[in-house]
Amino acid sequence: MEPLFAAAPYTGYVYPNETVFPWGILIVVYPYITGLVAGAFTVSSLYQVFGLTRLRPVAHLALLTALCLMCFVPTPLLLHLGHPERAFNAVFTPHWSSAMAMFGYFAGFYVILLALETWFVFRPYMVQQAQRRKDLLGRLYHVLCLGSHDLSDKAMRYDQKWIFALAVAGIPGALGLHGYVGFLFGSLKSREWWSSDLMPVIFLFSAIISGTALLIVLYVLSCKLRRVPIDVDCVKALGYTLWGFVMFTLVLEGVEFGNVIYKAREGIDIIMAFVTTRLIVPFFVLQFAVGAVTPIIILSYMFWRGTAGRALVAGITVSALLVLFNVIMMRFNVVIGGQEISKTGKGLLIFPWVIFGREGVLAAASVLIAPFLLLLVMIRLLPPWEDEHGDDKAVV
């Protein structure tokens, strides 16, 4: 029989109850997925709202990606809950002083917003397909049109207004959703590693870089798979966006870390003991050196040298992969790292990895992969590629 809990080994003195980690890998995956949603949506909005036309080839892909990921945001939480069947208690009878009680509302609002914007963006395509196809899929498109088959200029202008409004509303929505996740951690005064006013901002910017990086990877991969030429200008624009936000995130994380060390409040001894031993590889080497500094160097070098063509695309894609790695390491170092530092300030715990079971690595990996399987289905149903729309009406 599977044990009911995994006990953590420790050094120094820790409270007896701390030897069971409250939050495991699933809670690492949760802010990661939420961040990807917020980041992907931001990219979509850079085009829809701010008119960055160079991002046009990925704008719709960004929207679909955000929607697919958002559908799976609650899954790590539900898997983690001791009583998932009671999850709606927090929605129907929310305890207003709890940051966590807001999750259902934030997530619900955001799913609706994403679904609405997706519907408006892909309505012309759905109408065309509903009219052309006579098979089962045609009927599905017909249902998805919700009785709205008007593609006149007036109707399209109306749609465009809605898309713009939803994209504008979605920006504070997306940023709020992820800033809120940062607040969940930053507002807890019980853990020095988490308790920081900068935490929501750091979460926010790391979200934007992860979403941008994901879109670079997805776009390049999709072009390769579809055997269509890559829009280098688009990738370059995403590369610039990535570079800027990674720089900003890196500075923020540096300021935050410097703050903890410089203020040197109670518990700093154990934090220093942690940072200078067990955190060297996951924090300094993997998160900072490999995941943040390396892509910045690669991108800076390429932009400085004026690298173009395939080399530029390859360099930006590699940087994006590294940034994706950086952000998951950041989530890990925050969520797990914070719990490895005992509340006694006199001991360190070692996270017990669990492979199988409800909260194991396999479950977390499945939760992370699932949105992309959904995306595979969605891009077949609603192709986000410009060349498949047939006319410009679909591309707003």
Partner 1 sequence: MDDKEKLEKHQIARRAFLGCLGGAVAGGAAVVATTAVLPNEARAAANSAAPAVPAIPGYDWSKHRWAFGVDATKCIGCLRCVEACKAENEVAGDAHHFRTWVERYVYLEGEDRPRIDSQDDPVNIAASGSEGAYRFANRYKDAKVDKAFFVPKLCNHCTHPACVQVCPTGATFKTDDGVVVIDHTYCIGCQYCVQACPYGARFFNPELNVTDKCTWCYHRITKGLLPACVEVCPVSARIFGDLNDKQSPISQFVANNRVDVLKPETGNAPNVYYVGIDKEVR
Q: How far is the CB of 176 from partner 1 (least distance, A)?
A: 18
Q: What share of the chain is helix, strand, coil (3-state, %, to 5)?
A: 70, 5, 25
Give 77 or 379: the residue with its C-beta nearer to partner 1.
Answer: 77
Residue whose CB is less far from partner 1, 73 or 242:
73
Nearer to partner 1, 184 or 218 (CB): 184
Nearer to partner 1, 129 or 342 (CB): 342
CB of 12 vs partner 1, minimal distance in Å: 8
| Pairing relationship of beta strands 346-349 and 10-13 according to DSSP bridges | antiparallel
Tokens of 374: 């959904």
Least CB distance from residue 19 to partner 1, whole Å?
A: 5
Q: Footprint of partner 1 on this chain (CB under 8 A)? A: 4-5, 7, 12-20, 22-23, 77, 80-84, 86-87, 89-90, 93-95, 97-101, 103, 184, 188-191, 266, 339, 343-346
DSSP state of 7: B
CA distance linking residue 142 with residue 126, whole number of Å: 7
**Using CB atoms within 10 A of its CB, is residue 111 exposed (0-12), middle (13-18) or buried (19+)?**
middle
Contact 66, 44 (CB under 8 A): yes
Coil, helix or strand at residue 196: coil
Phi and psi at 359, nearest 5°, equal: -110, 20
DSSP state string for 342-353: -TTSEEEE----
Q: Name residue 13's beta-bridge partners.
A: 346
Q: Minimum distance between the CB of residue 3 and partner 1, rounded to whole angstroms?
A: 9
Positive or negative, the CA dihedral 78, 209, 316, 294 is negative
Strand partners, 139: none
Q: How far is the CB of 85 from partner 1 (least distance, A)?
A: 9
Given the complex with partner 1, which of 46 and 367 has the nearer CB atom? 367
CB of 343 to partner 1, least distance (A): 5
User: What is the residue-wise DSSP string for 218-243?
Assistant: HHHHHHHHHT----HHHHHHHHHHHH
Least distance in Å: CB of 4 to partner 1? 4
Q: Which is nearer to partner 1, 287 or 339 (CB)?
A: 339
| Closest distance to partner 1 from the beta carbon of 269 (Å) | 10
The CB density around residue 329, as the number of other CB atoms within 10 Å, is 21
Chain position carrying tokens 């990921």: 69
Taking the least distance from each CB to partner 1, the nearer of 19 and 160 is 19
The smaller minimum CB distance to partner 1, of residues 14 and 114, is found at 14
182 vs 194: CA distance, rounded Å:
9
Closest contact distance (angstroms) between CB of 220 and partner 1 is 38
DSSP state of 284: I
**347 φψ region: left (φ > 0), alpha (ψ -120 to 50), beta (else):** beta
Comparing CB distances to partner 1, the nearer of 159 and 340 is 340
Amino acid at 329: M
